[in-house]
Structure 1
Amino acid sequence: MYVLDFNVLIYAFRQDAPQHRACYAWLNGSLTTGEGVGVPSWVEREVLRINTLPSLGDLAAPPQDVFAFLYALRKHPAYQLVEPGPNHLPIFEDLCQRLGLRGNDLNDAFMAALAIERGATLVSTDRGFSRFPGLRRVDPLEE
């Protein structure tokens, strides 16, 4: 199973992004082969939030377009919502303590802990995830 970071879905949605082609191809390929693509609910929220930011000006997407994208993904049998389970908090705590993380770094540790707990591979274009011991990661831009 794969767990997706929000940047992959943002790039897959945004046809104007230089990363669009690689992320869209990776997502489409993974959904088509049925490997299991897990997405936390907060990732869907971030995809909506970031793509509709008023600061993007004319590049901001209409919310209904982002919702349509998310609904289309949810209809796919290989797509599933994933949330932290009972072992998430101790894994999260261990990562934070081992790496001395605070502040904004906690978001990445939270996501890494989810993938580790599920025995999944995290899919992200953020190379910062490579610092987490025990985390398997794939970057669609490097494939």
Structure 2
Amino acid sequence: MLALDVNVLVAALHAGARDHARMRTWVEDAVNGPEPVGVSEAVASGVVRVLTHPRVFDPPARLDDALARMEAVLGHPNVTVLSPAPGHWAVFAELCRAADARGNLVADAAHAATALQHNATFVTRDRDYARFPGLRWRVP
């Protein structure tokens, strides 16, 4: 399974994002490909947060549009919504300690923990994920 990060989906879903065309094609190919795709609830809400943020996009996406774009991804038959599994806190805390996580890296540790619990390869444009031991990750 491939688990997608916020930055991959934001780039794919907002025409004003850097590398939008390439990322949109990559996500379309992934969800239509042979490998299952997962999106965690935390990632999905993070995508809506970034798409609607006025300091990120000018103009930001309207809330209804951002929700509809994310719901279209989540509704795809090859996409599974991922939730933290039992024991998530222990995995998360271990990753935080291993990476000496602070600030934004703490949220990344939570995403990494969910991907690990689902035995997924995390797909991100953020190379900081290399700091989490045991996580399989790749750049799209």
TM-score (norm 1): 0.88
CA distance in 1, matches of 2:69, 2:86: 30
How does 1:59-138 map onto structure 2 within 5 Å? 59-138=59-138
Identity %: 37
Give the total of aligned pairs: 140
How far does residue 56 in structure 1 lie from its aligned partner after superposition? 4.8
**Structure 1 stretch 66-75 or stretch 96-105: which is displaced more?**
96-105
The residue identity in structure 1 corresponding to 2:25 is A
The whole-number CA distance in structure 1 between the counterparts of 2:109 and 2:78 is 25
Distance 1:91 1:58, change over 3 A: closer
Unmatched 5+ stretches in structure 2: none
Dislocated runs of 4+, deviation >6 Å: none
The alignment's C-alpha RMSD in Å is 1.7
Q: Give the TM-score taking structure 2 as reference length.
A: 0.90
Mapped pair 1:36 → 2:36: yes
